[in-house]
Chain A
Amino acid sequence: MAAPAMLHLTIWIGVPVLAAFALSFTSYDVLSSPEFIGLENYMDLLHDSVFRRAMINTLVYVFFVVPVAMALGLLIALMLNMQIRARALFRTAVFIPQVTATIAVALVWLWIYDPRSGLFNAILSFFGFPTHDWLSSTTLAMPAVILVGIWQGIGLKMLIYLAALQALPEDVYEAAAVDGAPKWRQFFSITLPLLKPTTFFVVVTSVISAFQAFDLIYILTDGGPANTTSMITYEIYKSAFREFRMGYACAQSIILFVVLVILTIINRRINGGDRGDR
Chain B
Amino acid sequence: MELTRRSLLAAMGVGTTALLAGCGGSNSSSSSTGSAGGDPADVSGDITFLCALFEGATGKETLEGNLLKTFNQQYPNINVTIDYTNYSKLNEKITTALAGGLMPDVLTLGVGWIPPFANKHAIAPIADSLATRYAYQSRVLEPARFDGNLYGLPMVLDVRVGAYRKDFFAEAGIDAPPTNWTDLRKFAKELTVRDSGGSVIRAGFDPFSIDLRQGWETFLFANGGEMFSEDGREVLFGGDEGVEALQLYIDLVGDGSAIFANETPEKGMPSSLQSGNSAMMMTDNSLMLTLLDQAPELIRDDKVGWFAVANPTPAIFQGGTIVSQSATSKHPEAAAALVEFLGGQDAVLAACAQRGSVPGMDELLTSDFVAGNPFVKFALENLDKSRPEGGTPAWMEIREKIKPTLQSAVVGQQSARAAIDELTGIAEAAIARL
Interface centre among A50, A136, A221, A238 (most CB of B within 10 A): A136
Among A31, A141, A225, contact of B122 (Cβ-Cβ < 8 Å): A31
Q: Are B259 and A29 in contact (CB under 8 A)?
A: no
Interface flags, A9-31, vs B, CB<8A=1, else 0: 00000000000000000010111
Query: Does A135 lie at the interface of the complex (its beta carbon under 8 Å from any beta carbon of B)?
Result: yes
Taking a contact as CB atoms under 8 Å apart, the answer to whether B407 and A225 are in contact is yes
Identify the stretch in B94-102, B136-144, B353-361, B372-380 within 8 Å (CB) of chain A at 4 or more residues: B94-102
Contacts of A135 in B (CB 8 A): 262-263
Tell me whether A244 and B116 are in contact in the complex, defined as CB-CB below 8 angstroms, given that A31-B98, A226-B413, A230-B404 are known contacts.
yes
Q: Mark A228-247, 1 if CB is under 8 A from B, else 0.
A: 00100000001011111110
Q: Determine how close the nearest CB of chain B comes to the CB of A88; give it in whole angstroms.
A: 38
Is A138 a contact partner of B411 (Cβ separation < 8 A)? yes
Give every chain A residue within 8 A of B411 (Cβ-Cβ). Answer: 138, 225-226
Which residue from chain B places its CB closest to the CB of A243 in the assembled complex?
B397
Chain B min CB distance to A56 (Å): 14
Cβ contacts under 8 Å, B95 to chain A: 30, 240-242, 244
**Interface size, A (range):** 20 to 34
With A30-B95, A241-B91, A241-B92: A222-B263 Cβ-Cβ less than 8 Å = yes
Check: B260 CB closer than 8 A to any chain A CB: yes
How many pairs of residues, A versus B, come closer than 8 Å at their CB atoms? 78
Query: Do B408 and A244 touch across chains, with their CB atoms under 8 A apart?
Result: no
Residues on the B chain within 8 Å of A224, using CB: 262-263, 403-404, 407
Complex: A135 Cα to B92 Cα, angstroms: 25
B91 touches A50 (CB 8 A): no
In the complex, what distance in Å separates the CA atom of A140 from the CA atom of B413?
Answer: 15
A226-B408, A242-B92, A242-B400 known; A32-B263 Cβ under 8 A: no
Query: Which A residues touch B91, using CB under 8 A?
Result: 241-242
Judge whether B98 and A222 touch: CB under 8 Å.
Answer: no
B residues with CB within 8 A of A: 91-92, 95-96, 98-99, 116-117, 120-122, 199, 259-263, 277, 396-397, 400-401, 403-405, 407-408, 410-411, 413, 433
CB<8 Å pairs between A and B, sample of 28: A30-B98, A31-B120, A50-B401, A115-B261, A133-B261, A136-B261, A136-B262, A138-B411, A141-B262, A221-B263, A223-B404, A224-B262, A224-B263, A224-B404, A225-B260, A225-B407, A226-B408, A227-B404, A238-B400, A241-B91, A241-B92, A241-B95, A241-B96, A242-B91, A242-B95, A243-B396, A243-B397, A244-B397
Which 3 residue pairs spanning A and B have beta carbons closest together?
A31-B120, A226-B407, A136-B262
- Which residues of A line the B interface, CB within 8 A? 27, 29-32, 50, 115-116, 130-131, 133, 135-136, 138, 141, 221-227, 230, 238, 240-246
